[in-house]
Amino acid sequence: MTAPIWNTSAPGKVILLGEHAVVYGQPAVSMAIGLRMRVHVEPSTMSSLNGVQLTSHNYSYVSACLAKMGSAPMSVMTSSDFPSGSGLGSSAAVTVALIAALAGRYGPWKEAEVAQQAFEVECEVQGRASPIDTSTCTHGRAILVRPEPGEDLLWQMSLDSRRWCVHHLDAPDMTLVIGFTGRSAPTGPMVAKVKRYVDRSSFARDMVEEIGQVTLEGVRSMAEGDLEALGRSMSMNHKLLAILGVSSPELDRLVKACLPHSYGAKLTGGGGGGSMVALTDRPDQVVEVIRSKGGQPFVASTNVPGVKEE
Ligand code: MEV
């Protein structure tokens, strides 16, 4: 008898508006991109990732997924279209795809359950987190996260006194070009850094609220299909994130270089390295500029499906 095998995939993501502030309950917008993480799972005598045995010191997301799903030892193999630590959601994508693969042992799974379990894993491993990354990788397409439920609500999640309502968002057609700085930056320490600042400074708390306002303006511009105004909100969001201390010289350099060819540009994800994203109607020029500044460009297709069986 051949061993059962489960194959799934989940997309990477770019946060268009509102990262970090979303951890404090502010609104945020995120889009899935056409770069995917594929996961292959099969029973084994010991748990491993890409042939390396899991221990208490490595691959914490994979170990946490196996523990959460009460799994017997599994061999997990992954292959990804995008680099890990690039701010494009590799940890969330692997978590979501693996949870779905393990849930698939018992039959069809529901998106909302996968999103909830993946969020719990991310909180456990990363420390403080919002459900934006795991929800985007689960649902695909685009999502709007905000504190109150509204039209197109997908699911709600809460932690301590915070609540996030995750909505499907119809996004207009747009071209996004991502620039990876080449410097991996784990999200957890950046989230912890912002928390220290927010805890001790009312100025930082004001910046978080301001990001929420800029995000809401951007959401209105998206609904009107006004890409110029959306781009302005993205660029303003970058400035506010830089004030919060989560940009880096490499990110600032790439954002500045892209601006003359874009509606707007900003860092995306945790920051401190990782990637930036530009909204543009001149993708070839933006790709060229990112490359000339030492970044790794990706033209991102959007409106892509979330987690699925392969
Ligand atoms: C990271 O992609 C997004 C952050 O807002 C963290 C989170 O929401 O969990 C920085």
Task: Look up the CATH number of the domain holding residue 59.
Answer: 3.30.230.10
* Residue 139 and residue 262 in one domain: no
pLDDT at 1 over 60: no
* Residue 228 and residue 161 in one domain: no
Cα 306 from chain centroid?
12
Quote the domain boundaries for residue 186.
Answer: 175-301
Distance 145 CA to ligand 1 centre (A): 12
Cβ–Cβ < 8 Å for 76, 41: yes
Mutate to test the pocket of ligand 1, among 16, 22, 266 (most ligand atoms within 8 A of CB): 22
User: 152, 171, 190: which is the final residue of a domain?
Assistant: 171
183, with CB counted inside 10 A (0-12, 13-18, 19+), is middle
The amino acid that residue 181 corresponds to is: T
User: 126, 146, 171: which is the final residue of a domain?
Assistant: 171
Q: Cβ(270) to ligand 1 under 6 A?
A: yes
Tens-digit pLDDT profile for residues 212-264: 999 999 999 999 999 999 999 999 999 999 999 999 999 999 999 999 999 99
Tens-digit pLDDT profile for residues 261-310: 999 999 999 999 999 999 999 999 999 999 999 999 999 999 999 999 99
* Residue 187 and residue 157 in one domain: no
- pLDDT of 92 reads 97
Q: Atom of ligand 1 at shortest distance to CA of 19?
A: 5
Q: Cβ(15) to ligand 1 under 6 A?
A: yes
* Residue 197 and residue 158 in one domain: no
d(CA 12, CA 22): 18
Which residues, in sequence order, are CB contacts of 145 under 8 Å at separation 6+?
Answer: 18, 22, 27, 28, 29, 30, 130, 131, 132, 135, 164, 165, 166, 167
* Residue 145 and residue 291 in one domain: no
Per-residue pLDDT, averaged over 149-178, amounts to 95
Q: Cβ(18) to ligand 1 under 6 A?
A: no
Total number of domains in the chain: 2
pLDDT at 156 over 60: yes
Per-residue pLDDT, averaged over 20-39, amounts to 97
Q: Cβ(215) to ligand 1 under 6 A?
A: no
Of all protein residues, the one whose alpha carbon is nearest to atom 2 of ligand 1 is 269
Tens-digit pLDDT profile for residues 126-144: 888 999 999 999 999 999 9
Active-site annotation holds for 281: no
* Residue 203 and residue 141 in one domain: no
Per-residue pLDDT, averaged over 31-57, amounts to 96
* Residue 75 and residue 185 in one domain: no
Distance 295 CA to ligand 1 centre (A): 22
* Residue 157 and residue 233 in one domain: no
* Residue 163 and residue 233 in one domain: no
Q: Is residue 159 in some structural domain?
A: yes
pLDDT at 4 over 90: no
Per-residue pLDDT, averaged over 203-217, amounts to 98
Tokens coding 120? 């719990």
d(CA 269, CA 309): 26
- pLDDT of 5 reads 85
User: 136, 154, 171: which is the final residue of a domain?
Assistant: 171
pLDDT at 2 over 70: no
Distance 271 CA to ligand 1 centre (A): 9
Q: What is the chain's alpha carbon radius of gyration, rounded to the nearest angstrom?
A: 19
In the chain, % of residues over pLDDT 90:
91
> Which of residues 307 and 1 earns the better pLDDT score?
307
Whole-structure pTM value: 0.96
* Residue 239 and residue 201 in one domain: yes
* Residue 143 and residue 283 in one domain: no
Cβ–Cβ < 8 Å for 214, 29: no
